[in-house]
Amino acid sequence: INYDLLTPDHYVYDLIYNPARTMFLQKAEMRNAHFKNGLEMLHIQAEKSWAIWNN
């Protein structure tokens, strides 16, 4: 990936949540791109799964 092409207009998402900041996300942060790891997705998926199996 040519990280030099990332700008603040880009959104970078890495499904990995451990480590919280992968090299991929660190590079995005250095280029001032928006970034997120997969922890929020894990929480949302867990809530939906709980609701399906327990309601």
For residue 33, tell me if it sits in a domain: yes
In a domain, 5, yes or no: no
3 within a domain of the structure (yes/no): no
pLDDT at 28: 98
Q: In degrees, to the nearest 5, what angle opens at C-alpha 45 toward C-alphas 41 and 50?
A: 150
**Ranges under pLDDT 50 in the chain:** none
Quick check: is 26 in a domain?
Answer: yes
pTM of the predicted structure, to 2 decimals: 0.80
Residue 36, domain extent: 10-54
pLDDT of the residue at 55: 83
Residue 36 within any structural domain of the chain: yes
Residue 16 lies in a domain: yes
| 1 part of a folded domain | no
pLDDT score, position 46: 97
Residues 6+ apart with CB under 8 A from 52: none
Number of compact structural domains in the chain: 1
Report yes or no: 17 and 45 within 8 Å, Cβ to Cβ: no
Q: How many angstroms separate the CA atoms of 55 and 50, rounded?
A: 8
Our measurement of the distance from residue 1's CA atom to the centroid of its chain's CA atoms, rounded to an integer in Å, reads: 17
Q: Is 35 part of a structural domain of the chain?
A: yes
